[in-house]
Amino acid sequence: MATPLANIRVLDLSRILAGPWAGQLLGDYGADVVKVERPGAGDDTRHWGPPWLEGDESQEAAYFLAANRNKRSITIDLADERGQQVIRELVVKADVLLENFRTGTMRRFGLGSDALLAINPRLVYCSISAFGQSGPRAAEPGYDAMIQASAGLMSITGPASGGAAGPQKVGVAVADIMAGMYASTAVLAALNAREQTGLGQAIDIPLYDSQVAWLANQAMNYLVSGKVPGRLGTAHPNLVPYQAFSTADGNLMLAVGNDRQFADCVACLGLPELAREPRFARNSDRVEHREDLIERMQGTLLRQGTAEWLRAFKAKGIPAGPINDIGEVLGNAHARERELVRTIDNSNDEPVPTVANPVDFSATPVRYERAPPLLGEHTDEVLREWLSYPDELIAELRGSEAI
């Protein structure tokens, strides 16, 4: 059965996480994604371990495996003139190019968007960088943690403001991942635009701007009120009660989204009178009197265990859930039923686990055909397939260390 992007070729020159995440998504949807890596070293994240894939002779790091399935790996030295020429020839055959070098690096190699769009006007050239391709900070480097900090996310993440602990970053590199998500959707939009105009274009995806964009309601809260949002721990700035609570034997997350749910919730707690109190009747009132309400609810929740409360809430249709660790998430019945973990054998016949893409197409399914590639394992294959290079030329390029 056909995949959504079976006709698309992607040249993925990116590394670390944001660019590879975009490339993996395009590969999941069926694109032929060719990952270009440094000879002898490869993507930095190949070495970001432990943990390593158990039994893997090449010692691939779990970090690398998380973002590089459904790709083929070739090695090309971008600093070598002959390597640069190979890239130009590959570009002629490509639909999409992904790169996340520091701004200006690709231009210095003669591989900037202007140069490559000149030789392939249909190319969609997507650049991911810390601060964008223009502006006063364009030349600055950036990693996820500093973007979470400088673009506002850490200021609203962590224990409530005024507590002993300070701002915290999210436990996953979400600035990188969201930039990759924006990049993949932008690439798809540009490919659709190409169908109408016949022309590709350059796309500029800054991590910083992406992080600011998905501050979402928190950014809008500031723009509307002029008040700078602070940290609320697990609580929600616009909904109450919507946070974690302690129980007699653990914790649970309660997510009450409207006044009817609130009335049902406090009835479950044996506190129906709270829904009639003017201070708590409407959500806007509950936000105003957050601390008093949470104190009343917390005292009651400590009287029973998590499982008992969750059964009671479920019976009334109140959104609540356990606070699972990752082992529980990937090993529970829901994960098995939904096949949230898949296994793909790599070229060494070693099984590589992977977390499934959450998209479920009815007619053009996501593919799980290629495990994350070993470094350079497809170099000869791709050069023959895309460029019809003879064995002699491949051997010459390898001898000169261009590939």
List residues with catalytic annotation: 176
Give pLDDT, residue 59.
79
Identify the pLDDT of residue 129.
97
What is the greatest pairwise CA distance in the chain?
A: 84
- For 292, phi then psi, to 5°, come to -65, -45
Considering only CA atoms, which of 313, 237, 217 is closest in space to residue 269?
313
**Per-residue DSSP letters for 53-121?**
-TT-TT--BHHHHTT--SEEEEE--TTSHHHHHHHHHHHHH-SEEEE-PPTTHHHHTT-SHHHHHHH-T
Q: Do 13 and 98 contact (CB within 8 A), yes or no?
A: yes
Average pLDDT over residues 158-187: 92
The yes-or-no verdict on residue 56 having pLDDT over 70 is no
Confidence of residue 160 (pLDDT cuts 50, 70, 90): confident
pLDDT tier for residue 57 given thresholds of 50, 70 and 90 = low
**Residue 310 near residue 289 (C-beta atoms within 8 A):** no
Question: Tokens 């609130």 identify what position?
Answer: 262
Pairing of strands 341-345, 351-355: antiparallel
Rounded Cα distance, 274 and 289, in Å? 12
Instruction: Tell me the per-residue pLDDT of 184-228, one tens digit each, with 9 for 90 and over.
Output: 999 999 999 999 999 999 999 999 999 999 999 999 999 999 999
What is the chain's Cα-based Rg? 25
Q: What angle do CA 60, 64, 69 make, to 5 degrees?
A: 100
Other residues' Cβ atoms within 10 Å of the Cβ of residue 108: 12
Domain annotation for the chain: domains and CATH numbers: 9-214+347-399 (3.40.50.10540), 242-323 (3.30.1540.10)
Sheet (strand 251-255) strand order: 242-246, 251-255, 320-322
* pLDDT band at 165; cut points 50, 70, 90: confident
For residues 73 and 403, is the Cβ–Cβ distance under 8 A? no
- pLDDT for 54 equals 79
